[in-house]
Structure 1
Amino acid sequence: MLTPCASIIIVLFAALGWSQEAGAVETVETATTTPSPHLLSTRSLRLPNDTYPLSYQLDISTNIHLGDWRFSGNTTIDIEIRRSTNEIVLHAKNLSDIQITLRLLDPQMPEALGELVDDITHTYDPHTTFLIVHPLVNYQAFEAGQRYRLHISYTGLMGTRPKGLYWMAYEEPLNNQTVYVAATQSEPTYARLIFPCYDEPAFKSNYSIRLTHSSSLMAVSNMPVLEVLNRGELTTTTFQTTPPMSTYLVAFVISNFEHISETYRGVTQSIYSSPTSKDKGRLALKNAVLTVAALEDYFGVKYSLPKLDHVALKKNQGAAMENWGLITFRDDSLLSLDVTDKHKRLKNKLMQNHEISHQWFGNLVSPEWWSYVWINEGFATYFSYVITDLLHPEDRVMDIFIRDEAEHAYSYSSFFDVRPMTYYVETEPDIMHVFDIISYKRAACVIKMFHHAFHQKTFVQGISRYLKKFQYSVVSEQDLFDAIQESVLEDVQLQQQSWAHMVRDIMLSWTHSEWLPIVSVIRNYENDTITLRQRSIHSKSEHWWIPLNFASAQSPSFEHTHAEYFMPPVMEHTLSLEELQLQLGGRDWLIVNKQQTGFYHVLYDTDNLQAIARQLQQNHSLIHAMNRAALFQDLAPLIERNELESVDVLFELFKYLKFEDDLTPWSQVANTIEFLDCNLYGTTAHSLFKQFVRRLVAPTFLRLFNKDDTGEATMDILARSDILHMACRVDMPECLDYTHRLAHEYIFKNNNFESDYPDYYAMHDIILCMGVRHLSDEEFGRLIDLLNVTDRNSAYYDDMIYSLRCTQSHQHMRHYLNLLLGENSTYTLLNEREAMMYLSYVFKSNMAARSVIWHFIDHNYKLLARSTFFVQLFNDITEFVPERQKHHFATLRQNIDMYLQLEHLSPKQPLISIDSRRVGKKMRNSEQFLEKFERQIHNWLLKELSPNGSENTYAASLSVANGSNRPASLLSAASKMVRSALRVKLQF
């Protein structure tokens, strides 16, 4: 997992079109018989359903302890012929020396050695990775109802990347030796790299696994050990046979690891890690025992294996993999549950509980094809939060869900290719790509919505029914919907609803839609009706069955979150208050989507928003904190697209915030405040706006940052960073003084804040950024002098380079740019490509830097053009050219073009055209916003901010305060921020 700051940078670069270059792919040739053209013509990438595996016996032998990456394998598969055919088709990839024998089994005596079939051969199709067993002469050799035993011997080669069977090296400090460890990653299509198999999730089978390895090592697999046979230097470990499971869950690890274990309710759980890390897994073990028991109780379905191992590996595909009975983790994810940083500790606990949830969702019941990955990942994501909340309510993890899952799901269309949750894929790359934000986060939000809409107890009963009915089997989404349907019809309160028989249609409208609905709630105050309108967030012709519920001034109950009404999939629908069973007076407020459990935006008419604003100003606690937050999240699309009817009502909603002591709404408000701050930058209304925001945020800032204790819940820690960023961004003196002092102590006094105040983990970047925002010339000079004598590979050095991007001084920014990219720079701070990417990031994140950067490019384009990435940077930032500056841009662009031609330079991409629609694209929306709202905002702020309440618009002195009793907070290095963040490659 990425650090928070690194994640932000990578997402920004991805959104801005900066992509990482693909790494080299390891390949091993597959030695097989020459393909027969008549067998390989236009094959589907899907396995035919003519044959089916009944059981596997898998033998793997390795000498990894000698540094030998080759392995040999023997796979014996009992196969049933379900439809007469002339071939047996299965998968194999990068396997060599394949030898095949086939015997016909007697159905009456399946264990007897059957008749040898001696007229067969095999063909390999590299496009489909099919290993095809067929007769020498083409005829229908395999009759329906027959059973065969297929034996395949082969060799393979372990790779260094977590695909198939791979290896990693560990240095043992006690004896100064290198120990090699082998592990598997089979999901989604990597089992075929380990052994020939039917490598699709629908082909479930039993597996009997046997591993031969060095006697100095041990082996674990999906099931407990059945037998260990020592034969001198080699040992053969045999495991119990698994229940029916998909190939992508086959797993084993060969290592010198040690373990700690605990048995509860008949399930033995163990944490395996390198000997030096053995004791670091105790909290993870405790959490695993509690979570398995809690999930058993919650769904009424026992964990189905006798053991569950958790193995900490140096390398893993992502943070963890949910193999049945043998979850593998990247070691820093599993062994850090005891770290002092609360945010990281809780995130790792949620990650572990996600993988444990998979033991039911994906392992016990599996999707019949990768189209339904969301059934695995969405349920594991959502219920990892639900079960963690049940076990640790003090951590308020459902608040974390809103921030870490729902916010991404609401905004996914901004960064990722949009597709429905249920989405057909076939190629291996496409299968990998469905393990994305839609399958994890969007699906989790949809599942949460129906968990509430159908009554929580009823929904869970439906899921329990689903798990019991389809255990050890595979499902489509309709199987899930039908199980929920049965439970809905058993619910006395729901069975009389008009939609009660339509669960399939309701849920299909969500799993087969691409975007997100916006529900407009328009009250007619004269005839007591409400018109409901729905549209896609991107105006696509999509409609949903939308669960609605209502809270009002006369019935302010926010606890009952089930659906009170399902809006049908039509564009507009009008109902009377009586039909909705609502009592509303003309000035009463109405809230839809209680606690924001529904996955959609809600927009209200202006009069209703005014009524909500009045309630918030009178007594905001009457409206649930989640809905107070939702008001701003739901308005965000309108604000960003200049579709808001009246900006006055938005500012009336803001006014109550000076009384807001719950941090949940502040996280949503922060985004809107930042948007307005950027748009108003450089206008006459900007200083008034900052003064207004200071008034709002001051009480909360002083409450949070004027105390010594750091015992907040994780959500509080995250929201504190939002408050800090907001307060300093609007030049609140107390905030600037606070961050400046802490940054001063970190930079000039070398304080080790991280070890003393680890709860500031999530705030490193913001404190440093805001702390250097207004450095004096003397301080800036001292900092530059320090850089010149600091180890350039240190995290401290990276922190300084990264934090200086935030300076508001034009003079300091010019010096900074010269340091990074100027005439005397040799790309020693950042390499050429990183420097151009970083300059783009500075431009977009610091409004004060934009004019300086344009000026710098104008004076240094001949120097900058030496980089093949310069034109990409230039094209990127031209989207921010204001209309009034387009003539200057045209001149600069012409000069650059002439220089590129004169010097015969070849950039990575062509220079943008002067009349391209990209030029000024990002500024047009801002300019339209100002044209529409600037005067309105200015007038509202003038009226609101009376002379008696005015503040200095400039911050108080930034000198370090003496004698303060404030804690010297943590500002550790941002984990080698710049280099690691810019070089990391995103992986699923």
Structure 2
Amino acid sequence: MCTSCVIKVLITALALGLTTTIATSIPTPSPLVHMPSARSLRLPNDTYPLGYLLHISTNIHLGDWQFNGSATIDIEIRRSTNEIVLHAKNLSDIEITLRLLDNDRPDDVGELVDDLTHTYDSQGTFLVIHPRENYQAFEAGQRYRLEILYTGIMGTRPNGLYWMPYEDSNTNETTYVAATQAEPTYARLIFPCYDEPAFKSNYTIKLTHSSSLNAVSNMPVAQIQNQGVNDDLIEHSNLTTTTFQTTPPMSTYLVAFVISNFESISETHRGVTQSIYSSPTRKSTGRRALNNTILTVAKLEDYFGVSYSLPKLDHVALKRNQGAAMENWGLITFKEDNVLEQHRKDEYKITKERLIANHEISHQWFGNLVSPEWWTYVWMNEGFATYFGYVVTDLIYPNDHVMDIFLRDEAEFAYSDSSLFPARPMTHYVETEPDIMNVFDVISYKRAACVIKMFHHAFHQKTFVSGIRTYLNKFQYSVVNELDLFDSLQSALLKDDRFQQQTWVHMVREIMLSWTHSESLPVVTVIRNYENDTITFRQHSVHSKNELWWIPLNFATVLTPNFEHTHVEYFMPPMSEHTVSFNELHLELGGRDWLIVNKQQTGFYHVIYDMDNLLAIARQLQRNHSVIHQRNRAALFQDLAPLVSHNEIESMDVFFELLKYLEFEDQVMPWTRASSSINFLFEALYDTTSISLFKQFMRRLIASSFQRLLRLLESGESPLEFLSFEDFLHIACRAEIPECLIYTQKLAHDYIFKNSSLEVDYPDYYFAMHDVILCMGLRHQSYEEFEKLLSVLKTTQPDSMLYDDLIYALRCTQNRQHMLHYLTMLVGDNFTYSIMNEKDFMNYVIYLFKTNAASRPVIWHFIDGNYKMLSRSTHFVQLFNEIAEYVPESQRERFAVLHSKIEEYLQSEKITPKVPLIDKDSSHVGKKMKNKEQFVERFEHQIHKWLLNELPQPDNRDYYAASLSVGNGSDRPGGLLRTASKMLKSAFGANISL
């Protein structure tokens, strides 16, 4: 047993850690003895915190960013050890006192412990307390009280304890506000602690601050004391110490407090007081948010049958916050614009505010009441909060249709196979601080939400919620891993009589693990055998990985078109191919009947059908599309899009039969899911004999829906369906709907020539459409209009937003003469690059080339005529190499001639470019055109034939007829221009210049 003494350790913080300075009365320890280089980045489990008393003192009201702290931690030794290890980062002037506690009388503070020193491990940010000699100093079962005095510095970034200024426009005074952000590993910046989620403990928090400010923390205030001069921790008068009630056991990442001059509005419901805190000038703008939080907490309590466990829940609006909001237990912090009302009413923004708040409120159960034992299971926090944030919002505001927004704002990203989202499973082990931060990603939030949604429906919603209720009650105030969750769901399923005959009901762990440990998502191919009444299901990964899943399937048919029952009807086992009879699936299907799998797209997988079944679905859509749920109508296009764009679809006739029904589609979602394939077809068919027919076909399909939305827009309404108006705008203008051309040109001209602001003068959703409006608005211009636009560009400040917008939008022109004039102006007289510098010009031409197919022949012509001048730039060869990837096969000979001229000129002038000139026979030449060329070779004749059979033959009376001819290098016909001009002048006044 150790003898008595006091250890006082002074540690000075460096940039990312601490170095050691020991008091002169204590010999300096050897850092090598007790700090092995192979120390784990995880805390050892030898010691455990039983409770914290945290006291932070600050003079932030004086603009002093230093804070003083005292962390007193009662510790239990769970396994005999020679060290006590906890986290600390960027803290200095540390003094440590350790006392032995009497296990029989825990309130009695025992003797001081001597013979101790410390070491700091900067790699793990560990503060290690250990004896000077290497022996087992701490015996299992002992308890200690560790007191650490220290100082820290507040930063401006929302990590740890940070500050932000608030200016009062009435008094011209500045008030400083301090707030915390502890998730995921920033609590160690605030106080020495066991900064891992599994180390749950009780916290009693005291804050000393100016009496002119107030403080809030996780729990309600227990006591407020005014301090005189020479307080223990800080020497200034007019200070107040606010002490808060002790928290229930919680993880360090949820510790939170705010010191401010904020004011609040409050309401108490069911014994829980909720408040919205904000700067005094914005106090009145929190009422809508408060009303929502009251409804949401009550609804979640009822839905899960588990009461909110704290006496209060504060919502603080901050100027600066990490992310949109942070779910600290009892004290949620928000970026202020996500919780406070704005000047204008925007239905989508109101809905998003509710979703953000309800996500954080859901965390009070998922993550706060029950926490993950390690960051491996971040998805158990974020996935549940994301999904049930939508569910509770849908329950409270059913007319907002937020589950459709879920598909657009969450599921669409989760389904994406973009390389921007690195492949990893939901359950993913991490250790380092950067890796822990990176696991808060699209997989933990969006993919996990989709998987949770799938099983919420597959296991019957009430049964699933019953399992969640068991999970929350059993593990409240503790930590879990995924198996704890799965076992709770298993117990609920075993009690549900509907599943007793199912063989899979005892395999919940296996089923769920196939999803949480896979890196991708499946594609389910459904192949009907029309002779023997069987269906073959095949599954494969979208990333071609060797992964297999237990996949919950359900079915809708002509005879049973019930899309509301979304529970699992059959689990496809983890086999690459599986055949089952109609009888086993309890299906009645005739040869021409349609079959839909994955009702309402509740399952998180793609579905691909055989062509005959797709044709049967298309026939039903054309007869009465409302029989099939709109989410499944949308899913058809979403699931077929990769096949179309990758040239893997069997027949484009069937795809066009599906498109055909869109003429009568009045819901936005199917259109938005079809838009990617429609835009691919615009690109693939560009410059083919079918493009004019395709435009005519698209005009027929979209005209009614576009005009309906446009009428709503111009009436001043802003329903949530306008979220996807950008997709309609893009398609309608590419199809040359006159109203679209008029509408976008009017807005673009007002913005450029009349200095109107789309975001100020029009509703908020224009912000998202800004680029599309300008691009489409300048797509077709007369010679005079284009000259005026270039004049504006020449006289606009290069660092202005208008300048950037003009540069962006002018590249959308479809007129080849305009494009050549534009390029000539950008390089300037004698290639002086007066508009933009040489490097920016080269990069911009690459961007222009890639995004506007009409520009490509012009750019090749421009290079052919100016390659000698362009070769002066060290960046020219890089430009040439990149656009070489877009050379069509039909132009390979011309490319080779130009390549030879450039190569000879570089050699004759002894010009050495930064990168070697691409070889003219390189496999990269034309690489980006191959997919389009293969698609055109395979399908263009089929598409042309289908369109000719579908469309009426044009005649001179059809005002669309002019768009069937392309002349003079322009994609805008004169007839259409004249028609649009007349309509525009009629709609907006005769003074419009065309």
Task: Quote the offset at 1:742 in angstroms.
Answer: 3.1
Aligned counterpart, 1:120: 116
Residue type of the alignment partner of 2:147: H
**Alpha-carbon distance in structure 2 between the residues aligned to 1:238 and 1:825:** 70
Q: Which residue of 2 aligns with 1:785?
A: 791
| Correspondence list, 1:920-959, <5 A | 920-947=926-953, 951-952=960-961, 953=963, 954=973, 955-957=976-978, 958-959=980-981
User: Residue 474 of structure 2: which of 453, 462, 469 is its match?
Assistant: 469
AA aligned opposite 1:386: V
Deviation at 1:805, TM superposition (A): 3.0
Q: How big is each residue's C-alpha offset from its partner over 1:139-170, in whole Å with a ceiling of 9 and x where there is no partner?
A: 11111111111111122222221111122222
Q: SS state of the match for residue 277, structure 1?
A: helix
Unpaired runs of 5+ in structure 2? 1-12, 22-29, 228-236, 964-972
Q: Confirm or deny: 8 A CA contact 2:774 2:809 kept in the other structure.
A: yes
**Which residue does 1:31 correspond to in 2?**
19
Residue 613 (structure 1) aligned with residue 588 (structure 2): no
Equivalent position amino acid for 2:502 in 1: Q
Q: Deviations over 1:540-576 (max 9, x none)?
A: 1110000100111111111111110000000111111
1:637 matched to 2:653? The reply is no
Task: Measure the CA separation in 1 of the matches of 2:708 and 2:659.
Answer: 19
> Per-residue deviation at 1:699?
1.8
Indicate whether 1:140 and 2:136 are aligned. yes
DSSP-derived class of the 1:959 partner: helix
Aligned to 1:301: 306
Aligned counterparts of 2:847 and 2:349: Cα–Cα separation in 1: 26
Work out whether residues 16 and 122 of structure 2, in 8 Å CA contact, stay in contact via their aligned partners in 1: no
Provide the C-alpha distance between the structure 2 equivalents of 1:863 and 1:243, rounded to a whole number of angstroms.
73
Aligned partner of residue 31 in structure 1, secondary structure: strand
Q: Which amino acid aligns with 1:191?
A: A
Tell me which of 707, 715, 734 is aligned to 1:709. Answer: 715
**1:218 equivalent in structure 2:** 214
Q: Deviations over 1:494-524 (max 9, x none)?
A: 2221211111111111111111111111111
Q: Does 1:811 align with 2:799?
A: no
CA distance in 2, matches of 1:899, 1:183: 60
Counterparts of residues 695-706 of structure 1 (less than 5 Å): 695-706=700-711
Post-superposition offset of 1:475: 0.7
CA–CA separation in structure 1 for the residues paired with 2:912 and 2:60? 50
Shift of 1:666: 0.4
CA contact (8 A) 1:32 1:97 kept: no
Match of 1:18 in 2: none
Contact 2:218 2:257 in 1 (8 A): yes
1:80-106 per-residue CA deviation (whole Å, 9 max, x = no partner) reads: 111111111111111122221111110
**Structure 1 CA distance, aligned partners of 2:840 and 2:249?**
49
CA distance in 2, matches of 1:258, 1:178: 16
Following TM superposition, by how much is the alpha carbon of 1:254 offset from its aligned partner in structure 2, in angstroms?
Answer: 1.6
Q: Which residue of 1 aligns with 2:234?
A: none
Work out whether residues 48 and 199 of structure 2, in 8 Å CA contact, stay in contact via their aligned partners in 1.
yes
Distance in structure 1 (CA, Å) of the matches to 2:621 and 2:609: 15
Q: 1:753 to 1:425 in 2, by over 3 A?
A: closer
1:734 is matched with 739
Q: Find the aligned partners of 1:98 and 1:906 in 2 and give their Cα distance.
A: 58
Instruction: Write out per-residue CA displacement over residues 687-739 of structure 1, whole angstroms, 9 at most, x where no aligned residue.
Output: 1111111111112122222454343531x102222112111111122221222
Structure 1 position 595, deviation (Å): 0.7
- One-letter amino acid matched to 1:111: D
**1:170 corresponds to 2:175:** no
User: Structure 1 residues 917-926 or 572-581, which shifts more?
Assistant: 917-926
Query: Which one is further off, 201-210 or 718-727?
Result: 718-727
| Counterpart secondary structure, 2:184 | coil
The count of residues paired between Structure 1 and Structure 2 equals 942
CA distance in structure 2 between the aligned counterparts of 1:903 and 1:823, rounded to whole angstroms: 25
Contact 1:313 1:329 in 2 (8 A): yes
**Which residue matches 1:528?**
533
Match of 2:64 among 58, 68, 86: 68
SS in 2 for 1:114: strand
Residue in 2 aligned with 1:150? 146
Following TM superposition, by how much is the alpha carbon of 1:59 offset from its aligned partner in structure 2, in angstroms? 1.3
Q: Which moved more, 1:599-608 or 1:275-284?
A: 275-284
Distance (Å, rounded) in 1 between the aligned partners of 2:70 and 2:907: 61
Match of 2:230 in 1: none
Are 1:377 and 2:399 an aligned pair?
no
What is the rounded CA distance, in whole Å, between the counterparts of 1:654 and 1:942 in structure 2?
15
| Matched residue, 2:770 | 764
Aligned counterparts of 1:860 and 1:691: Cα–Cα separation in 2: 38
| Unmatched tracts of structure 1, length 5 or more | 1-24, 969-988
Contact 1:515 1:538 in 2 (8 A): yes
Mean Cα displacement is larger for which, 404-413 or 704-713? 704-713
- 1:198 paired with 2:203, answer no
Q: TM-score, normalised by structure 2?
A: 0.90
Question: What's the C-alpha RMSD, in Å, of the aligned pairs?
Answer: 2.9
Q: 1:251 aligns with which of 245, 252, 256?
A: 256
Correspondence list, 1:320-399, <5 A: 320-336=325-341, 339-399=344-404
- Return the match for 2:95 from 99, 104, 127: 99
Higher mean Cα deviation, 279-288 or 652-661?
A: 279-288
Which digits, 9 at most, give the CA deviation of each residue in 1:360-418, with x for residues without a partner? Answer: 11111111111111111111111111111111111111111111111111114442111
Q: Do 1:865 and 1:900's aligned partners in 2 also have CA atoms closer than 8 Å?
A: no
3-state SS of 1:522 partner: strand
**3-state DSSP class of the match of 1:774?**
coil
Residues 948 and 874 of structure 1, relative CA distance in 2, 3 Å threshold: closer
Deviations 1:527-548 (A, max 9, x none): 1111111111122111000010
Match of 1:436 in 2: 441
Q: Which moved more, 1:939-948 or 1:560-569?
A: 939-948
| Deviation for aligned residue 1:811 | 3.1
Instruction: Give the drift of 1:788.
Output: 4.1
Give the 3-state SS of the residue equivalent to 2:811 in structure 1.
helix
* Residue 595 (structure 2) pairs with residue 590 (structure 1): yes
Name the SS for the 1:650 alignment partner: helix
Confirm or deny that 1:506 pairs with 2:511: yes
CA distance in 1, matches of 2:163, 2:627: 58
Q: What is the match of residue 750 of structure 2?
A: 745
CA shift for structure 1 position 40: 2.4
- The structural deviation recorded for 1:258 is 2.0
Deviation, 1:794, is 4.9
| Alignment counterpart, residue 203 of structure 2, candidates 176, 201, 207 | 207
Q: CA deviation at 1:51?
A: 0.8
Alpha-carbon distance in 1 for matches of 2:598, 2:517: 22
Secondary structure at the aligned position of 1:758 is classed as coil
Matched, 1:800 2:806: yes
Residue pair 1:337, 1:348 contacting (<8 A) in 2 also:
no
2:573 to 549, 552, 568: 568
Taking a change above 3 Å as real, the CA distance of residues 680 and 63 of structure 1, as seen in their structure-2 partners, is: same
Code of the residue aligned with 2:855 in structure 1: it is A
Structure 1's 636 and 56: CA in aligned 2 closer, same or farther, altered over 3 A? same
What is the CA distance between 1:303 and its match in structure 2? 1.3
Deviations 1:194-240 (A, max 9, x none): 11111111111111111122222222211112222222332222111
1:627 aligned partner: 632
Matched with 1:488 is 493
CA spacing shift, 1:249–1:732, aligned 2, 3 Å: same
1:16-54 alpha-carbon deviations (Å, 9 max, x no partner): xxxxxxxxx993552326622552221111111111111
| 1: CA distance, partners of 2:977 / 2:257 | 62
**Among candidates 846, 851, 854, match of residue 845 of structure 1:** 851
Label 1:536 to 1:151 Cα distance change in 2 as closer, same or farther (>3 A). Answer: same
Question: For 1:139 and 1:515, how far apart are their aligned partners in 2?
Answer: 50
Mapped partners of 2:759, 2:201: distance in 1: 50
| Partners of 1:106 and 1:893 in 2: CA distance | 89
Q: Normalization by structure 1: what TM-score?
A: 0.90
Highest RCO, 1 vs 2 (Cα 8 Å, sep ≥ 6): 1
Q: Output one character per residue of 1:886-918: Cα deviation in whole Å (capped at 9) or x when no partner.
A: 5666655994898699898885x8776766655
Identity score, percent = 68
1:635-688 CA distance string (max 9 Å, x none): 112112211111111111111111111111000111110011111111111111
Structure exhibiting the larger radius of gyration computed from Cα positions: 2
